[in-house]
Every structure is written in C-alpha cells, then in structure tokens.
Structure 1
Amino acid sequence: MSDNILKIAGLKVAYGGIKAVKGIDLEVNKGELVTLIGANGAGKTTTLKAITGTLPACKVEGTMSYLGKPLAGTQSFRLVQQKLAMVPEGRGVFTRMTIHENLLMGAYTRDDKAAIAADIERWFGVFPRLKERSGQLAGTLSGGEQQMLAMARALMCHPTLLLLDEPSMGLAPIMVEKIFEVIRDVSAQGITILLVEQNAKLALQAAHRGYVMDSGLVTMTGNAQAMLNDPRVQAAYLGE
C-alpha cells in the first residue's frame, strides 16, 4: 500500500436539485496536515460528512477510500474502530456527561484500561483547563473548553486520520491560538489531519498542502506556503 491515507475522486453530493459538491478530487497522505479552505457554503463540511457517512438523505457519487479500502456503505461508528475520527463543526460534546466521561467515550473502542488512563492524563497535560474541571458537565463549559474536549476525545482513539471541521469557529482569539498550537503539535506527532477551516491564514500556516473550495468545486491546490503567498488566495481569503 502507498502512503495514501484518504483518496477522493469525482465526489458529487446533491440535495434534491441543489448540487453542494460538484465533482472534487482530494487526497491526504500519511503524516500530512492538509487544509480545505473556502467561504461559507463552499461545500467543505458536506465533503467531511460524505467521508464519515453522516450526511442526511442525499445523492452521493464518486469514490472515496481510506487506507486503500472503499468508504461507501461503511457505518459511521465503524470508522472510529478503523481509527478515523472527526471533530465536528459545533464540537458535539456529550453535554450531560462529565469531561472525564467524554474522554472515556472517545476510547470506547479500546479495552486497555491502564493506557486509556495514561492518555487521559496526557491530554489533561495539554489542556490543563480540562483537568481542573474533569468532573464538570461538558454542557457547562465555554465554547473554547468544549473545543479542547472535542479534540481530546477524538484523539483518545489514537486516530490514523483526524478530521477537524471549523475548530476555530466562534472562539476568542486567544483560544484560537491555543487550538492551532495543539493542531500543529498533533501533526508533529505524525497524526494525519484533514482540516476544514474558515481562518485561511492560520490554516495555511499550519498545513503542508491546501485545497481551495468554491461553490462545490476545488479551484486551487498546492503547497500551503506557496498558497499563502499567492495573490489570488490573498485577495479572496486573506484580506490582503
């Protein structure tokens, strides 16, 4: 098998007569941090939901493979067993469970209790705020704290591929900095990441490669640093 972790070819998604994704190609290779940027409504979140099989009723065409195997028809909860984890837009924490219980849920596919406990302490070390509040209900946390929890929970399954959907959305600037610091650290540990993000500058600064999505199509792809310096990207997404 090649170093290819995720490969998408000719992906189309249509809700009735509305074509949300219009035939995109995208791939993520082992150890890469790849970002998908674009305006609201470009089709970025729909693409992630197509990968994870969490779309509402719609028509999906094209091929998607993970670790060389087709994703079509795979039940979404099976993906976690295959070490594909997603932090959804809006965080999706279990609000009526504690921080500690949320982290245990992230490890539900594992039975190595000592290692699970060690991983919880590891992520408490990265997010000290979560440790301070470990017995607190997740629904009472701030947006930034919930984002930390959602990321730590996803990482509890030791993902081969981590999908992040708008992790900075609605967060204060200081919290955005912390989240991106963690994203870069996780990437440095060799975890492969596909990041969907509206903050194009931060996303491209963290990524190895980038894709620009506009109105359901990929309009540009390339080295992230080169894209940061591309006048078209600067004019459309970086406010320069």
Structure 2
Amino acid sequence: MKPDNVLKISGLKVAYGGIKAVKGIDLEVDRGELVTLIGANGAGKTTTLKAITGTLPPCKVEGTIAYLGQALNATQHATKSFKLVEQKLAMVPEGRGVFTRMTIHENLLMGAYTRNDKAAIETDIEKWYTVFPRLKERSTQLAGTLSGGEQQMLAMARALMCHPTLLLLDEPSMGLAPIMVEKIFEVIRDVSKQGITVLLVEQNAKLALQAANRAYVMESGAITMTGNAQDMLHDPRVQAAYLGE
C-alpha cells in the first residue's frame, strides 16, 4: 500500500445469493484526492460504499478493503461501522439518513459524538450554519420536517462534524432542485480544498467529473474505465454513455 493511500480496495466481490453485485473491483483513493465513482443505476456503486462501511445486508463479501493501511473487513476482525467514525471515516448515505425526530442542532451534535471539545464543537456548528444559512434559521426545527435539499445540507454538515480524514458521499444530488445541487457541489469542492479526502458516488456524471481529480466508471459490478476526471469529461465513450452528448 502506498504511503499516501487513504483507501485501497482490492478484488472486492459482493454477492447476494446468486446475484453478483460487485465483481472483483480494485479502487484506491490517495490523501487529499476527490475521486468519483460514476455509473448507471444498479451498477454496484452504493454496494461498494456499503462494503467499505460494513453496512451491507447479509451477503458474501470477498477481497480486501484497507483504510489508512488497516484492513476493515478481515473476517475475524471486521471493523464495526460505528467504530469507523472514531477512525475519522464518515459517510453521507443515499437518502440522507438524518435523525428525523431530532432538531437540526441535535443532529449536528450527533455528528460530533466522538469528540469532547465542547467549545470547538460549537465553533464548528456555527461554521456550518454560515455555510448553510437555512440550517441556522431552522436550528430548532425537527430534521424530519425539512425539505430534501435541507436534509442533504444537514447530512453533509453532520458527517463533517467528526473532522473526517475520508468522506464518502452517496448520490448527494439525487432528487434535488438544480439550485440546491449547485450549492451541494460548491460545498463538496470546498471540503476537498480543505484537504479532506472524498470518494463521491454520483449519477450526475458531468458535475462529478468537473469536481473530481480522478474517476472510475462502474458498469454491472465491474470497473470499466479509470483515469483523470478532466480527460474523462472529454472522452467520447463517457460522453455517449453518461453525459448525453
């Protein structure tokens, strides 16, 4: 494993009964990179993220997933998903996963549950309120009453409260109005500039490739292309398959 590897996936296979969702993929993300994994619905992208975080339903998983040089999925010592947050690995899941019966403020505090630096936690909450003013306006509102876009903002801010080394984002633009998508991607780019390593799974291939350093294309559980994200933006195969050009 290279010294600057944050995440290294080797030969990952995931099978549900006879269905092979992921077919032996290799993928790596280096420190400070923003890497995107693009592909059609059902390509195996979300399954890959869930394999990293240990949140898959019962299934057969083969291969290795290493985070900061440590195997996360060694059979006897698989890292419990809640322990990953303590190791500074955070995920914003598809569908956002906010705590609907807690307020915005309480959700943000939950994001910092591994920390005990109270003053710094409050400073961070104020920082995210500045980035997402709508959250500040509604800080005492239950998260379940927010719009989809507001919930996405909250899910991102909550994940960032643990000061992650690696941030996994699963379809952050899904179902959002164009203006909200623009805001979310602005924050993703800013987070990357702050040095946080990001693995982004996204159906909006154009926005994802514009934001990323490198990209992987996944089709039917296999990686079919990988390379510099800007080059892939102009690749006729990617344009034909994912950019509608």
Aligned equivalents of 2:53 and 2:14: distance in 1? Answer: 13
Asked if residue 172 in structure 1 is aligned to residue 174 in structure 2, the reply is no
Letter in 2 for 1:175: M
Structure 1 residues 21-36: aligned runs within 5 Å = 21-36=22-37
Secondary structure of the 1:74 match is coil
**TM, length-normalised to structure 2:** 0.98
Q: Tell me what 2:111 maps to.
A: 106
Query: Which secondary structure does the structure 1 equivalent of 2:29 belong to?
Result: strand
Give CA deviations for 1:49-95 in whole Å, capped at 9, x if unaligned.
00000000000000110000001110000000000000000000000
Alignment equivalent of 2:125, drawn from 105, 111, 120: 120
- Long gaps (5+) in structure 2: none
One-letter code aligned to 1:69: Q
CA–CA distance in structure 2, aligned partners of residues 108 and 178 of structure 1: 26
The offset of 1:169, in angstroms, is 0.2
Kindly state the Cα deviation for residue 47 of structure 1 after the two structures are TM-superposed. 0.0
Give the CA deviation at 1:106: 0.1
Tell me which amino acid in the other structure corresponds to 2:11: G
How far off is 1:203 after superposition?
Answer: 0.1
TM-score normalised by length of structure 1: 1.00
- Structure 1: distance between partners of 2:212 and 2:149: 22
- Say whether 1:187 aligns with 2:188: no
Aligned length: 240
Q: 1:224 aligns with which of 224, 229, 240?
A: 229
User: What's 1:150 paired with?
Assistant: 155
**Runs of 5+ unmatched residues, structure 1:** none
Counterpart residue number, 2:44: 43
2:62 and 2:26 map into 1 onto residues whose CA distance is 12
Name the counterpart of 2:219: 214
Residue 164 of structure 1 and its aligned partner are, at CA, apart by 0.1
Alignment-mate amino acid for residue 134 of structure 2: R
How far apart are 1:176 and its partner, in Å?
0.3
User: 1:234 pairs with 229, 235, 239, which one?
Assistant: 239
The yes-or-no answer on 1:5 pairing with 2:15 is no
Superposition deviation, residue 211 in structure 1:
0.1
Aligned counterpart in structure 2 of residue 94 of structure 1, from 90, 96, 99: 99
Q: 2:66 maps to which residue?
A: 65
SS at match of 2:198: strand
For 2:9 and 2:191, the matched residues in 1 are separated by: 23
CA deviations over 1:209-231 (Å, ceiling 9, x no partner): 00000000000000000000000
- Find out whether 1:81 has 2:86 as its counterpart: yes
Residue 124 of structure 1 aligns with an amino acid whose one-letter code is Y
Stretches (4+) displaced over 3 A: none
Q: Distance in 2 between matches of 1:71 and 1:223?
A: 27
Residue 203 (structure 2) aligns with: 198
Report deviation, 1:232: 0.2
Distance in 1 (alpha carbons) for counterparts of 2:195 and 2:209: 18
Cα offset for 1:191?
0.3
